[in-house]
Amino acid sequence: MRALVVGNSYDRDPGFVGERLTELGYTLVACHREHPDAWPDLDGVDLVVPLGSDWSVYWEHVQSSVVAESQLLRAAHDRSIPVLGICFGAQMLAHTLGGSVARSPEPEIGWYAVESSIPELSGDGPWFQWHADRFTAPPEALQVAASPLAEQAFRIGRTLALQFHPEVTEAIVTRWCRGGADELHRHGRNAELILEQTRSHVSRTARTAAQLVDWFLAEVAGA
């Protein structure tokens, strides 16, 4: 089984999600957002996983890449190839399938509770978040998770969009805190506190991320 993992060339780690997919027999194929001309076609692809990004879908200087990714996600969705979108990947799905993306009045950066009637989405504790944009789900989508600040998940057909980050490991959050130090300072967030919380949560989220992937494959991708 082949899974295309779409991410920026400098930040393409699928973390716990990738680990679980590999355990289940998927071969992960990296697709760099900056080089859509190098992506394989969808023949023989069983899953598409667009990851997070520090981009916004409405930035003019990345529009050629946004258009290419949107075309890929639309083609996968229309062909009923399962898609699991994470953060920016979820926003791309909203943008592609008839929803919208806009600046959030307040960013979510850190560990936040997610409300859902689906245990695999709510987890048994907070999920990691790092986003300043938020999406509005497509009209025909089913919203399946939320927080006080943003929609957190929707499903439509064999596609699932997650605003939160089930994939993060301690190494991923450490890298983001180093690279995003200016953003953390601008929003009054403390990197050491975020890393301390991360160390206390990742042993749990390694398990709950695997449970989420299993639920997605069985209930959404298998629909």
Sequential DSSP letters for 6-45: EEBTTB---HHHHHHHHHTTPEEEEEETT-GGG---STT-
Which domain does 53 fall in, by range?
Answer: 2-169+205-220
**pTM higher than the cut 0.95:** yes
The reply to whether 186 falls in a domain is: no
Domains held by the chain: number: 1
Q: Encode the chain (223 residues) as per-residue pLDDT tens digits.
A: 999 999 999 999 999 999 999 999 999 999 999 999 999 999 999 999 999 999 999 999 999 999 999 999 999 999 999 999 999 999 999 999 999 999 999 999 999 999 999 999 999 999 999 999 999 999 999 999 999 999 999 999 999 999 999 999 999 999 999 999 999 999 999 999 999 999 999 999 999 999 999 999 999 999 6
Structural contact between residues 30 and 14, judged by C-beta atoms closer than 8 angstroms: no
Closest by CA to 133, choosing from 158, 150, 145, is 150
Structural domain contains residue 200: no
Q: What is the CATH number of the domain that holds 133?
A: 3.40.50.880
Cβ contacts of 196 within 8 Å, gap of 6 or more:
none
Does residue 128 fall inside a structural domain?
yes
Distance CA 223, CA 123 (A): 22
Q: Are 2 and 44 contacting, i.e. CB atoms less than 8 angstroms apart?
A: yes
Residue at 191 is within a domain = no
Q: Is residue 117 part of a domain?
A: yes
Decide: 120 and 212 in contact? Cβ < 8 Å: yes
Q: Which two tokens stand for residue 55?
A: 């981009």
Q: Tell me, rounded to whole angstroms, the distance of Cα 42 from its chain centroid.
A: 20
Determine contact, residues 179/88, Cβ cutoff 8 Å: no
Residues with active-site annotation = 87, 165, 167
Q: Which pLDDT belongs to residue 223? A: 63
- Residue 188 forms part of a structural domain: no
What is the SS3 assignment for 155? Answer: strand
What's the pLDDT at 85? 98
